[in-house]
Structure 1
Amino acid sequence: MENTSNLIPPTPKQKYVRGWLSFFLFVVGFGSLFSLIMSIVGFSSVDNVGFITCLFSGIDILFSLGLVALAGYTIYAFLYIRPNAVFLGKLYVIIIFISNMLVLLSGEMPDTGWDSLPQVVKALVWSFIWFSYLCVSRQVENLFPKEERMVFKRDKYFAVSLLVIPALLLLIYFISYLGNSTAVVSLSPEKGEYTDGVVAFRAPKGLLCERVDSISDNIYHSFESGDSIWGTVVGVYDTNTTEAYFKECVDSWRDTALDGYDFSVLDMNTGLVDHNVLRMQSIRYITDPRLVWTFAALFSPETGKACIISCFATTPVERTEGVVNEMLQTIRFK
Structure 2
Amino acid sequence: MTSDVLARRFLHVNLNCVSLDATERIYGDLLGLKPRMRTDPKVATDGTILGLQGETFCATSFLYDARGGRGGCALEAIEYYSPALNVDPSTDPVRPGIRAAQLGVANLDDAASALRGAGLTVGDPVDTLLGGGKSVLAQDSDGVVIELTELPAGADTSKGAMFNGIRIAAIDAAATGEFLTAIGFTEVAAPTTVPAAEAQLAPAGSGETDCVVARYALAEDGHQFTLTVVQHPDTAPTPVPWGGNRQGLYRCALRVESVRDALAAVPDSVERMGDPVWCPLPGTKIDGLYIAFLRSPDGVVFEFVERPLAHFSR
* Shorter-normalised TM range: under 0.3
The structure whose residues are more often strand, as a share, is 2
Greater radius of gyration (CA): 1
TM-score normalised by structure 1 residue count = 0.21
The structure whose residues are more often helix, as a share, is 1
